[in-house]
Amino acid sequence: MNVLIACEFSGIIRDAFNARGHSAMSCDLLPSELPGRHYVGDVRDILYEDWDLMIAHPPCDHLAVSGARWFPEKRADGRQQAALEFVWLLRDADIPMYAIENPVSIISTRWRKPDQIIQPWQFGHPETKATCLWLQNLPCLTPTDIVDGREPRVHHASPGPDRWKERSRTLTGIAEAMADQWG
């Protein structure tokens, strides 16, 4: 299966699919943190190739409700609308199966409610971070390893230049579940 992991700089999901014999490629404006098949650039450059599955992580900067206090400014200058249009571009791509991932966001009111909300603690990581999945032709993920110790590690991450990377990186337990259940 040809799998596109859109807006992924870490390579974690890409590598989980490749380990199971799929042909997966990640794409991001940044280079991949892990060596592997990765396109550095705009996903629009490769979106219309022959993909069977796309797992997309559109930037949440202007969408996540955690930043709701800035929504009036982001609406006024068009950043929020541009972010939504990017989500819709991914949604409307001619790819038979997709998962669009984002935190709790305005996608739920401007498009539709997510098909599923997952937590890291359902997949072996003792922390909380509600992650919404909008699915097309894919089943909801079944939890693989429910654990205790549910700490909001990502929410409490220290300020700094790489905080956004830690907040956006997919955890391995979730990536493994995606590859096992959707591959």
Instruction: Please report the pLDDT score of residue 164 as a whole number.
Output: 66
User: What local confidence, expressed as pLDDT, does residue 162 receive?
Assistant: 75
Strand partners, 167: none
Summarised one tens digit per residue, pLDDT across range 1-47 is 999 999 999 999 999 999 999 999 999 999 999 999 999 999 999 99
Q: Which pLDDT score, from 0 to 100, does residue 160 have?
A: 77
Residues 141-169 have pLDDT tens digits of: 999 999 997 887 766 667 777 766 777 78
Residues 137 and 94: beta-carbon distance below 8 Å: no
Alpha carbon distance, N-terminus to C-terminus of the chain: 8
Do 117 and 156 meet the contact criterion of CB atoms below 8 Å apart? Answer: no
Joined together, the tokens standing for residue 52 give: 């069977």
Q: What is the C-alpha separation between 128 and 157, in angstroms, rounded?
A: 12
- Cα 131–Cα 91–Cα 9 angle in degrees, nearest 5: 55
Locate 168 and state its tokens.
């956006």
Q: Does residue 90 contact residue 45 with C-beta atoms inside 8 Å?
A: no
Mean pLDDT, residues 128-142: 97
Side chain identity at residue 89, one-letter code? L
Helix (H, G, I), strand (E, B) or coil at 103: coil
Report the CATH number of the 2-182 domain: 3.40.50.150
**Of residues 43, 46, 53, 47, the one with CA closest to residue 1:** 53
Task: Read off the pLDDT of each residue in 133-137 and give the average, rounded to a whole number.
Answer: 98
| Residue 28, pLDDT score | 97
Q: What is the pLDDT of residues 89-129, one digit of tens each?
A: 999 999 999 999 999 999 999 999 999 999 999 999 999 99
CA 124 to chain CA centroid, Å, is 18
User: Burial, 112: exposed, middle or buried (Cβ in 10 Å; 0-12, 13-18, 19+)?
Assistant: exposed
Tens digits of residue pLDDT in 38-95: 999 999 999 999 999 999 999 888 888 888 787 788 889 998 999 999 999 999 999 9
Section 161-179 average pLDDT: 86
